[in-house]
Structure 1
């Protein structure tokens, strides 16, 4: 019955516009030339454009990833301090596509130091005096801060000042310190790792005394301008994760936002399949179930989603071209705990998709695996798609999740 209703609705929406145009001509409201013009416009927008989309992989990738949308304008990603991210190292990781790949793909990466490390080494890091006001302790020192206190003299003797030639060694030295927590942040589509709402997340995590790693996928920011694919961006995330894991044994958490949630779940599933070390937990902010569901509910699809040929020309071709991001499948393939956070007023990735993913994870994952949490944020706060990081209760939720599972192994 539902399929019949859906079919009838699709036929109605596909015929109502041209039918209205023809009826207007038959009743004399518009002339023949106007009728022809309107029908041509309808054909171009609702028939020809979807057909072009069906057969253009380039267009499909462009619409999904939107790497050509760049903001803020003129941002120098080599200088993260320009957006308030002092004590942040910018560097590049090369991703090899295969063993014989000589050049690879270069990815721009940031490593944001935790607040307690910045406070303790502010002179060596050349942190300006006015920034020190942000670093006053307001909570008990973490275990890693105690380690820093005990070893600070030795580290200072080794690094009397942090210069370009020893910056990598200094940051990696702090990363190896016992007791630390690392968050790998996987951003969504458009812009770069330096866009405004993303930098707010980094600052939130820094203030929780976590090391933060974030990077731009291929085709984004100052990473190599290689057309992104699902396999490509997941490989990028895998290489950055392995870079961190090869340096430190401290727990790593993966945080994905929007399209980055699809990257995060696929990454964790791949690590599980490879039987490699995985993260201790996964945070999914504004997630969706899969690209097919997300496309149908996305605001950009409102004009097209009721067309009878929508699946044939839009969603099915993307699926066939391996642009799937099937989080509803991947959450069944790794054991780590999952925390899902979603705002009720999210119009880009509707709240119902995040909750549906939560129910799928609850019903399909083994009971011996890590728990799945879901946190709903009321629409009255207007956090929307990007600004859950401004919720006052979020830092406490993150801290509780990280402390609960930082030493757990599933």
Structure 2
């Protein structure tokens, strides 16, 4: 996702009292002076530290005042955020796509070899007249590409419009268009080779949109693999850690979820999987804090209710620490893929 020191001015009595033989006459005066000092300290609500001689009351009052101001400011922000999101649904769309968060920084997407992808070709596709998308991406997915490549798979990865060095602005319909175009482009050049579609996180919503579209046209891919999927965007948004401070308050759906729908963002994977005709493999880690494990399991239960194709769910124990995006680290992943994709009964 400073410490400030307060300077305290301590006044010291500079009067030096000379004791003489007749010290008895000085006692009433000293006692009167002490009482006056005590009375003064009491009136100003100041305590004197016995070790340092410093007055601490002012320090406490200052920090208490600052804490109160901070608490009021945070409360005001907390109250205002739901109304801002409701009035400006585009803000909620930004939070769903997060395409403005560009990680990692300072890499040249035209040079995949800089990321250790020595046999990778960077190129661009044009799904629409005014949109150009780049055909590979960075971050943790690079490690997945390496795993798949080591198993003999050719990987075509692309950045949706608005991500990476791809042009345009993200939208569910636009991202689906990009994916359909890329699949058709690849299918036309793959000959008799099998083509599989892999989606991760938000990409699982795009993937189910695409495969449903292809299934309806009777041209589905050879298999669909969903890594860390969700059921639909409303259930995912309600389960996301960002929503924790608001999800139990009245009006949460109206303030936060309805604006997402109003922005045309649905990603109905739970509905899509009921129309998908190709084999489906779901991978999910139990300790996924971004898309909870129970959403992936729920999607599997819905998909497996259709008995006309193979559906498999593979979970990864929370002790493995794979969380949301490190399933590629599993030494079992290559075996899981080979077994699923080479199954002769996969299409039964």
Query: What secondary structure sits across from 1:202 in the alignment?
Result: helix
Q: Please state if 1:105 is matched with 2:131.
A: yes
* CA shift for structure 1 position 36: 8.3
Within the alignment, does 1:217 sit opposite 2:250 as a pair? no
- Specify which of 256, 267, 289 is matched with residue 314 of structure 1: 256
1:139-218 aligned within 5 A: 193-195=137-139, 197-218=140-161
Equivalent residues of 1:280, 1:408 under 8 A apart: no
Residue aligned with 1:86, SS: coil
How many residues get paired?
285
Q: 2:120 matched to which residue of 1?
A: 88
Query: Which of the numbers 50, 56, 78 marks the counterpart of 1:45?
Result: 78
Mind listing any 5+ residue stretches in structure 2 that lack a counterpart? 1-62
- Post-superposition offset of 1:44: 2.9
- State which of 232, 254, 265 in structure 2 corresponds to 1:323: 265
Report how far residue 73 of structure 1 moved.
1.5
The 1-side partners of 2:87 and 2:158 are apart by: 31
Q: Which structure has the bigger radius of gyration?
A: 2
Verify the 8 A CA contact 2:89 2:262 in the aligned structure 1: no
Matched, 1:387 2:326: yes
Q: CA deviation at 1:35?
A: 7.1
For residues 227 and 57 of structure 1, what CA distance do their matches in structure 2 show?
Answer: 15
Structure 1 unaligned blocks of 5 or more: 1-29, 97-102, 111-192
- Detail structure 1 runs of 4+ shifted over 4 Å in the superposition: 30-40, 407-410
Higher relative contact order (CA closer than 8 Å, sequence separation 6+): 1
The change in CA–CA distance for 1:74 and 1:276 in structure 2 (over 3 A counts) is farther
In proportion to residue count, which structure has more helix? 1
- The alignment's TM-score, normalised by the length of structure 2, stands at 0.77
Determine the structure 1 residue equivalent to 2:316: 377
> Aligned Cα RMSD in Å?
2.1
The SS at the match of 2:183 is helix
Give the drift of 1:42.
Answer: 2.2
- 8 Å contact kept, 2:279–2:347: no
Residue equivalent to 2:93: 61
Change (3 A) 1:72 1:277: same
